[in-house]
């Protein structure tokens, strides 16, 4: 390479760098002399948001979108899209510019494909579009005064799937304009999907989530102005991040919200999963933390899986096609956008007799399904009659016959769910399929014939083997409680079925499976946990279970035994009559509020249980899912930690097991003010010294650096009041500015939530950070010791 080429290369490089800086230092305005094309962007004055062309995922389409500036949020996070339905493929020959007083996007052939659509009367002169630091893109008349005049147009009036602080969701009764959140079709297609969050169009102050703008499947319940929560979202009581307000008058009704700490980066999203999500950016881990979402259960989203799809809460894949069906749009399906649904692999005989070998359609029996939408009931007295009615109507796709009679479904089946075998809501559905879907294929038939015709001796040996196997199995499971493993009882499935009256009384469900109440013949009351999707073989399962069985402590729920038969895996625990801590704390219906003394003992007991798990037992265990739901209370309201050791047993990724804990708490730095943090239902009846102690410990436990956090043993000592001497380093405190006082704020991270300070002797089990802290201020506010 000669010097000249080098020189020009350097020059070129400089030019490029210069260009790049030019792009980075972009202004916040699109005006007559300034347009957007290619990789150019505009950035809001405070460098919070950026606007320009983007490409979602592996899509080949480009859209004009708005995202957090990379300095603030390192993951590309789109919060608004202009041309949701009209993408361009070449961003360099497309341009976003001011045209006739409108902001207009022109495609490759200079055709306008998106516009702010103002009539020329409203925009007599030229205009300019400014990107503001709150994520609002506003169009103003050239020369108008921003602090006095309303914008001609603003992106906050045209929300996409994200609700930013300061934006409104509601409607305007004068213009009939609705401000709603609409999900994307898929992670690669920002076009409006089927799920929307809207303020109740009928006028109540509740938020509703709809499928296809018509079918409601979730409601927030009415807004209660006094307690400032939605009635069916009681967890909002714990909210110290979002300040919601409701505005309603003759012209408009809407909600808006602000953040108590304006430095928090947070947003609401109507996700393609049909769930509304509340996410907060965690600088520490560089990821969005799912703080809250609804509906909590994925399968409660109406028709998530489309026609002939079935939703399954258990398996990691939420949607499956019914037997005999396959995804219509495999690509969308891979992106977990299921609403396209499924199509038949083989046409029905009644539709196309030539393709079905001339054989009549048949019905596939499917047990414990939820009832599909749009059921029609038919007056028929017999099962056979019900079947023949469906068979004789080519558009009948399924029927069910039970004590309430005969039901048939016409056309596509929607909103199906595969329930767990114990769910009493389940029905047996008969699905119409072409005869060829009921194979045995011809080659197999040949094989069967061969075997039958084969040597009688062979069959005898086979039978003998089967008998031996059955006998061995019987030996293992009969005689309830006779097979004992360590101190654990190996229960037979039938025994537990009898004890729980065929799993009829459900106590709850967690990340690992449902729990049922039962009574043993000796009249002791038990809780039976049916583990879902256990990946382990029987031997490994027994090994793990016996490990858990050796862990015994007064503050840990005692494992009495287990059941392992075929694919069925169950754990049997002592029954806890007072339920879980969350039901005691958060459900208002209870007449008696837990008093301070009890609460303190629960905190102390829980800490003791965890300390034992971390430090005292032989094989130390990471709990991975400490939350009020997993702290059970015995007759004396003594706490017992539940569900320890299960993550390993089920062998799933932690992140997919954990039902996220999303709560916030707030702790004051002002020692005198500590009573203001107390649950108001206690009317200030608490030991201030204990309350202060608890608050301090809580602060230590949420230290960013694990090394600064106390061990659970230290926590126990401090709570017992034994040790005030060996205090860990004073925490750097974190504040949120309220109206008149400073607050410390912390919250427990989802998906990797654990109790404070987790340890493990098992190096293969990764210890993840426990609690994470929203935002740190430089200044330190030490707690006096």
- Catalytically annotated residues: 625
Nearer to ligand NAG, 346 or 768 (CB): 346
Smallest distance, ligand NAG to C-beta of residue 373, A: 11
Q: How far is the CB of 189 from ligand NAG (least distance, A)?
A: 12
Whichever of 227 and 245 has its CB closer to ligand NAG, that residue is: 245
295 upstream amide cis, omega within 30 of 0: yes
- Which of 7, 315, 330, 352 touches ligand NAG (CB under 6 A)? 352
Binding track over 306-345 against ligand NAG, x by CB under 6 A: ----------------------------------------
* 258 lies in the site for ligand NAG, by CB under 6 A: yes
Between 31 and 329, name the residue whose CB sits nearer to ligand NAG.
31
Which part of the chain contacts ligand NAG (CB under 6 A), choosing from 107-115, 364-372, 617-625, 716-724? 107-115
450 lies in the binding site for ligand NAG (CB under 6 A): no
102 binds ligand NAG (CB under 6 A): no
Q: Is 108 in the site for ligand NAG (CB under 6 A)?
A: yes
Residue 486's Cβ-count burial label (10 Å; 0-12, 13-18, 19+) is: exposed
CB nearer to ligand NAG: give 432 or 569: 432
In this structure, the strands spanning 325-327 and 229-230 are unpaired
User: Which class for 566: exposed (0-12), middle (13-18), buried (19 or more C-beta within 10 A)?
Assistant: exposed
Number of residues that bind ligand NAG (CB under 6 A): 41
Question: Given the complex with ligand NAG, which of 243 and 547 has the nearer CB atom?
Answer: 243
Report which of 528, 540, 485 is spatially closest to residue 504, judged by C-alpha positions: 528
Residues 6 or more apart from 268 whose CB is under 8 A from it?
A: 162, 163, 181, 197, 276, 277, 278, 279
Q: How far is the CB of 380 from ligand NAG (least distance, A)?
A: 30
Residue 179: helix, strand or coil by DSSP?
Answer: strand
CB of 176 to ligand NAG, least distance (A): 4
Closest CA to 438 of 335, 340, 532, 362: 362
Residues in region 122-161 near ligand NAG by CB under 6 A: 126, 128, 142-143, 145, 147-148
Strand arrangement of the beta sheet that strand 127-131 belongs to: 29-30, 127-131, 137-141, 153-154
Closest CA to 371 of 401, 326, 341: 401
CA distances from 89 to 64, 99, 108, 521, 692 (A): 12, 22, 8, 71, 61
Of 110-118, 316-324, 415-423, 744-752, the window that binds ligand NAG (rule: CB under 6 A) is 110-118
- Single out the segment in contact with ligand NAG by CB under 6 A; choices: 3-11, 26-34, 460-468, 603-611: 26-34
| Buried b / exposed e along 262-294 (16+ C-beta atoms within 10 A) | eebbbbbbbbbbbbbbbbbbbeeeebbbbbbbb
Q: How far is the CB of 273 from ligand NAG (least distance, A)?
A: 15
Nearest CB to ligand NAG, comparing residues 409 and 644? 409
Tell me which of 44, 107, 397, 659 binds ligand NAG, using CB under 6 A: 107
**Interior/surface letters 68-95, b for 16+ CB within 10 angstroms, e for the rest:** bbeebbeeebbbbbbbbeebbeebeebb
Ordered strands of the 181-186 beta sheet: 181-186, 189-199, 206-211, 215-224, 229-230
- Only segment of 109-117, 448-456, 551-559, 726-734 that touches ligand NAG (CB under 6 A): 109-117
Among the listed residues 121, 249, 567, 635, the single contact to ligand NAG using CB under 6 A: 249
Nearer to ligand NAG, 414 or 516 (CB): 414
58 near ligand NAG, rule: CB under 6 A: yes
Of residues 489 and 667, the one with the C-beta less far from ligand NAG: 667
- What mask of x and - would describe binding to ligand NAG in positions 208 to 247, judged by CB under 6 A? x---x-x-x--------------------------x-x--
What is the three-class DSSP state of 431? strand
Judged by CB under 6 A, the residue of 23, 24, 31, 435 near ligand NAG is 31
Integer CA distances (angstroms), 609 to 613, 617, 620, in order:
6, 11, 12
For position 60 contacting ligand NAG by CB under 6 A, the verdict is no
Q: Is the separation of the CB atoms in 435 and 373 below 8 Å?
A: no
Min CB(633)–ligand NAG separation in Å: 34
Annotate 136-177 with DSSP letters as a single string.
-EEEEETT--TTTSPPSEEGGGS--SEE-TT-EEEEETTT--
> Of the two residues 149 and 421, which places its CB atom closer to ligand NAG in the complex?
149
Structure tokens at 402: 């039970």
Residue identified by tokens 């995804």 is: 327
Residues in 726-745 at the binding interface with ligand NAG, rule: CB under 6 A: 738-739
Q: Is residue 530 annotated as involved in ligand binding?
A: yes
Closest residue to ligand NAG, judged by C-beta, is 355
3-state DSSP call for residue 471? helix
- CB count in 10 Å sphere of residue 667: 19
With beta carbons less than 8 A apart as the criterion, state whether 397 and 341 touch. no
- Binding residue numbers: 530
Residue numbering of the annotated binding site for ATP? 530
Contacts with ligand NAG, residue ranges (CB under 6 A): 31-34, 57-58, 107-109, 111, 113-115, 117, 126, 128, 142-143, 145, 147-148, 175-176, 200, 202, 208, 212, 214, 216, 243, 245, 249-251, 258, 260, 352, 354-355, 738-739
């Amino acid at each position: 390479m000669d010097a000249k080429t080098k020189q020009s290369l350097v020059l070129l490089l400089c030019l490029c760098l210069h260009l790049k800086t030019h792009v980075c230092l972009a202004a916040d305005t699109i005006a007559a002399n300034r347009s957007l094309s290619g990789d150019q962007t505009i950035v809001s004055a405070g460098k919070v948001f950026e606007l320009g062309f983007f490409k979602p995922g592996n899509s080949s389409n480009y859209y004009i979108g708005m995202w957090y500036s990379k300095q603030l949020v390192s993951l590309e996070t789109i919060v608004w899209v202009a041309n949701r339905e009209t993408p361009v493929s070449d961003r360099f020959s497309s341009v976003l510019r001011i045209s006739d007083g409108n902001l207009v996007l022109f495609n490759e052939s200079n055709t306008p494909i998106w516009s702010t659509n103002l009539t020329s009367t409203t925009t007599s002169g030229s205009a300019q579009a400014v990107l503001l630091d709150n994520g609002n893109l506003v169009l103003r008349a050239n020369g108008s005064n921003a602090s006095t005049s309303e914008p001609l147009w603003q992106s906050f009036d045209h929300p996409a799937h994200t609700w930013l602080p300061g934006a409104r969701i509601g409607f305007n009764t004068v213009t009939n304009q609705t401000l709603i959140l609409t999900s994307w079709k898929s992670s690669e297609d920002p076009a409006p999907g089927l799920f929307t969050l809207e303020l109740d169009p009928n006028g109540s102050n509740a938020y509703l989530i709809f499928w296809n703008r018509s079918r409601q499947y979730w409601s927030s319940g009415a807004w209660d102005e006094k307690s400032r929560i939605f009635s069916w979202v009681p967890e909002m009581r714990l909210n110290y991040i979002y300040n919601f307000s409701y505005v309603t008058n003759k012209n408009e009704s809407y909600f808006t919200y602000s953040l108590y700490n304006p430095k928090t980066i947070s947003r609401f999203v109507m996700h393609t999963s049909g769930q509304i999500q509340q996410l907060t950016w965690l600088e520490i881990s560089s990821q969005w933390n799912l703080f809250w979402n609804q509906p909590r259960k994925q399968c409660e989203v109406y028709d998530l899986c489309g026609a002939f799809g079935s939703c399954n809460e258990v398996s990691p894949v939420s949607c499956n096609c019914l037997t005999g069906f396959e995804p219509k749009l495999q690509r969308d399906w891979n992106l977990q956008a299921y609403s396209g649904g499924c199509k038949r692999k083989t046409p029905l005989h009644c539709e196309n007799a030539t393709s079905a070998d001339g054989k009549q359609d048949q019905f596939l029996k499917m047990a414990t399904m939820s009832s599909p939408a749009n059921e029609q009931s038919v007056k028929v007295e017999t099962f056979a009659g019900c079947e023949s009615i469906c068979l004789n109507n080519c558009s009948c796709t399924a029927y069910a016959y039970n004590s309430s009679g005969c039901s048939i479904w016409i056309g596509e089946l929607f909103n199906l769910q595969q329930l767990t075998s114990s769910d009493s809501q389940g029905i047996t559905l008969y699905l119409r399929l072409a005869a060829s879907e009921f194979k045995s294929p011809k080659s197999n038939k040949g094989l069967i014939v061969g075997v039958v015709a084969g040597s009688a001796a062979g069959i005898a040996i086979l039978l003998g083997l089967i008998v031996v196997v059955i006998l061995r199995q019987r030996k293992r499971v009969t005689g309830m409680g006779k097979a004992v493993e360590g101190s654990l009882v190996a229960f037979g499935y039938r025994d537990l079925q009898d004890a729980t009256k065929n799993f009829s009384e459900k106590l709850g469900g967690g990340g690992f499976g449902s729990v049922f109440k039962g009574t043993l013949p000796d009249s002791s009351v038990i809780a039976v946990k049916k583990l879902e999707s256990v990946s382990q073989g029987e031997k490994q399962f027994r090994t793990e279970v016996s490990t858990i069985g050796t862990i015994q402590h007064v503050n840990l729920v005692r494992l009495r035994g287990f059941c392992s038969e075929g694919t069925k895996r169950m754990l049997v625990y002592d029954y806890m009559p007072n339920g879980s801590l969350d039901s005691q704390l958060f459900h208002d219906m209870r007449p008696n509020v837990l008093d301070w003394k009890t609460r303190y003992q629960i905190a102390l007991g829980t800490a003791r249980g965890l300390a034992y798990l971390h430090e005292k037992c032989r094989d130390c265990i990471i709990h991975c899912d400490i939350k009020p739901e997993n702290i059970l209370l015995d007759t004396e309201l003594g706490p017992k930690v539940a569900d320890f050791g299960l993550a390993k047993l089920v062998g799933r990724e932690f992140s997919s097991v954990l039902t996220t804990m999303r709560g916030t708490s707030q702790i004051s730095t002002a020692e005198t003010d500590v009573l203001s943090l107390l649950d108001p239902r206690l009317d200030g009846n608490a030991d201030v010294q204990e309350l202060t102690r608890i608050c301090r410990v809580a602060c230590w436990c949420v230290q960013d650096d694990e090394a600064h956090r106390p061990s659970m043993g230290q926590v126990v000592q401090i709570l017992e009041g034994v040790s005030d001497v060996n205090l860990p380093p004073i925490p750097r405190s974190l504040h949120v500015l309220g109206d008149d006082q400073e607050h410390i704020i912390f919250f427990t991270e989802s998906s990797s939530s654990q109790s404070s300070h987790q340890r493990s002797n098992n190096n293969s089990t990764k210890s993840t950070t426990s609690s994470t802290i929203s935002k740190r201020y430089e200044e330190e506010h030490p707690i006096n010791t």
